Amino acid sequence: MGLMSAGHIQARVDKHGLDAADYNRSRLEPSFDDPAYVALADLRMALDLVRSDEAVRVLDYGAGGSPYRPLFPKADYRRADCVELPGLDYIFGADEKISESDEVFDLVLSTQVLEHVRHPQLYLREAWRLLKPGGRIIVSTHGLFEEHGAPIDFRRWTLEGLFCELEEAGFRRGRGWKLTCGPRALLFWAMRHGGTGKPTMKSFFGAGWNAVRAVATGNLSWLNRQADRHFGKFAVMEDGAQTPPIYVGVLAVGHKETRT
């Protein structure tokens, strides 16, 4: 099939800057000055474990601005989304369907998309349909993270829960990682939300929280560097390790079995 334009599908307008240059830069090359540096840097580190220099055919399924496209430099790279963005190859609607033949892609990439999908099983089964036998899907999504749009936010996952979704859609379980774990997660949250709220100074807790607010809002770059220095080992932790029960993100790989 040929590539499709918006056609009869009612695409949403991008109201969240998904194609903005800084959106892509902060994900591919996160800076210590970025408010979400810790989570973005950890996801980028995890994606380095699954990137490919091979000449594969990739579908970026829920692409946004495709910030991670450079991790697949030799790929025939196709982009799909449900919002209006420049340079898309496919636009899909609420049924998650893409106008393309079966079994045409070697890899489906889905980064920080699944939490915004109303029907995750429809989305994952469509990915399974589009993959060649022997292909793989790379999925990252949120564990413990704030509610946010782009355009709608529906749910969160544990790593085991994400693997259950993949297996239900027909995939064989591959490698998986928990991202931004334990003390690194707590520091991330202190930096990200320490500046919110105005507790009273009349209590010990209120005074302490105001001190956290002052440090978090005035020393972002320094705190991000300390997170890397002291809690770097908690950035990306593979499934099976003794990982802390608190983590900000998850990344899992599923495989479509080859025919026998």
Cα–Cα dist 71/16, whole Å: 24
Residue 201 forms part of a structural domain: no
pLDDT for the residue numbered 76 = 98
H or E stretch covering 126: helix 120-130
The pLDDT assigned to 18 comes to: 54
- Say if 7 falls within a structural domain: no
What is the domain range of residue 115? 12-180+233-255
Each as own residue / partner, the long-range contacts of residues 222-231 (CB below 8 Å, 24 or more positions apart, any chain) are 223/187, 223/191, 224/32, 224/33, 224/34, 224/37, 224/38, 224/191, 225/32, 226/187, 227/38, 227/184, 227/187, 227/188, 227/191, 228/41, 230/183, 231/182, 231/183, 231/184, 231/187
Per-residue pLDDT in tens (0 to 9) along the chain, 260 residues: 334 433 344 455 444 455 577 989 999 999 999 989 999 999 999 999 999 999 999 999 999 999 999 999 999 999 999 888 899 999 998 899 999 999 999 999 999 999 998 899 999 999 999 999 999 999 999 988 666 665 676 688 999 999 999 999 999 999 999 999 999 998 888 777 665 555 555 677 667 766 766 766 678 899 899 999 999 999 999 988 688 889 999 999 999 998 76
CATH number at residue 87: 3.40.50.150
| The total number of structural domains that make up the chain | 1
Whole-number Å distance between alpha carbons of 168 and 157:
15
Matching residue, tokens 């079995």: 257
Assigned domain for 214 exists: no
- Indicate whether 170 belongs to any domain: yes
The answer to whether residue 117 sits within a structural domain is yes
**Helices 120-130, 159-168: inter-axial angle, 10-degree rounding:** 60
Q: What pLDDT is attached to residue 202?
A: 66
Question: Quick check: is 196 in a domain?
Answer: no
2 falls within a domain: no
CB 42 within 8 A of CB 140: no
Can you read off the two tokens belonging to residue 80?
């799909």
Evaluate whether residue 129 is within a structural domain: yes
DSSP tally for the chain: helices H, then strands E: 7, 10
Please tell me the predicted confidence (pLDDT) of residue 5: 39
pLDDT on residue 217: 66
